Amino acid sequence: MAVTDRKRTGSGRTRLISGPGLLLVWLYGVMVVGALSRSAVQISTDFGHAPLAYSLSAVAGVVYGFITYTLVRGGERARRAALVCCAAELAGVLVVGTWTVVEPSAFPDATVWSDYGIGYLFIPVLLPVTAMLWLRRAARPVGAA
């Protein structure tokens, strides 16, 4: 019963937020609020302290926001867009994560993606992987109405 994954919305778009997709949307939603509010506070109060770190958090928040939107919207194009963004997100976490480990001095303060998202229970690195697996599975079978 858990696998009623691909339902259709009234408009005929593939629903991406049924089943495991709902959990993904919830976690992405939390990350949107977390990353955006964090960077908003830091940029508005103390931008000069760690401009790179705070800007990266803001970018991460925007990417999370877009992925959340595409998941909620559903449909094949949204699914592809979400896949691309998840890949970008994963690349971001890996690059920034490695960067913070190799050269901590570039980051006087932590970002959402520091040390592969350790401050966020590694959700930033686990989420895109899970999301990409889910989105691949939600792919519309060829010829299906």
Partner 1 sequence: MLDALTIALAAAAIVLALWCGIAAYRDQSTKDRHFLGMAVVTLLATVQLVVGIVQLARGAKPEQGTVIFVAYLLGAFACTPAAGFLSLAERTRWGSATVAAGGVVLAVLELRLYDIWGG
Give contact residues for partner 1 (rule: CB under 8 A): 1-2, 4, 17-23, 25-27, 29-30, 33, 37, 41, 45, 121
In the complex, minimum distance from the CB of residue 35 to partner 1, in angstroms, rounded to a whole number = 12
Q: Pick the closest to residue 67 from 84, 91, 90, 92 (CA basis).
A: 84
C-beta closer to partner 1: residue 20 or 88? 20
C-beta closer to partner 1: residue 25 or 85? 25
C-beta closer to partner 1: residue 36 or 83? 36
SS3 content of the chain, % helix, strand, coil (to 5): 70, 0, 25
C-beta closer to partner 1: residue 4 or 105? 4
In the complex, minimum distance from the CB of residue 76 to partner 1, in angstroms, rounded to a whole number = 22
53 within 8 A of 27, measured Cβ to Cβ: no
C-beta closer to partner 1: residue 40 or 88? 40
In the complex, minimum distance from the CB of residue 46 to partner 1, in angstroms, rounded to a whole number = 10
139 within 8 A of 79, measured Cβ to Cβ: yes
In the complex, minimum distance from the CB of residue 37 to partner 1, in angstroms, rounded to a whole number = 5
Burial class, 18, CB count within 10 angstroms (exposed 0-12 / middle 13-18 / buried 19+): middle
Backbone dihedral angles phi then psi of residue 8, each to the nearest 5 degrees:
-105, 140
In the complex, minimum distance from the CB of residue 95 to partner 1, in angstroms, rounded to a whole number = 25
- In the numeric block, which tokens belong to residue 72? 């909620």
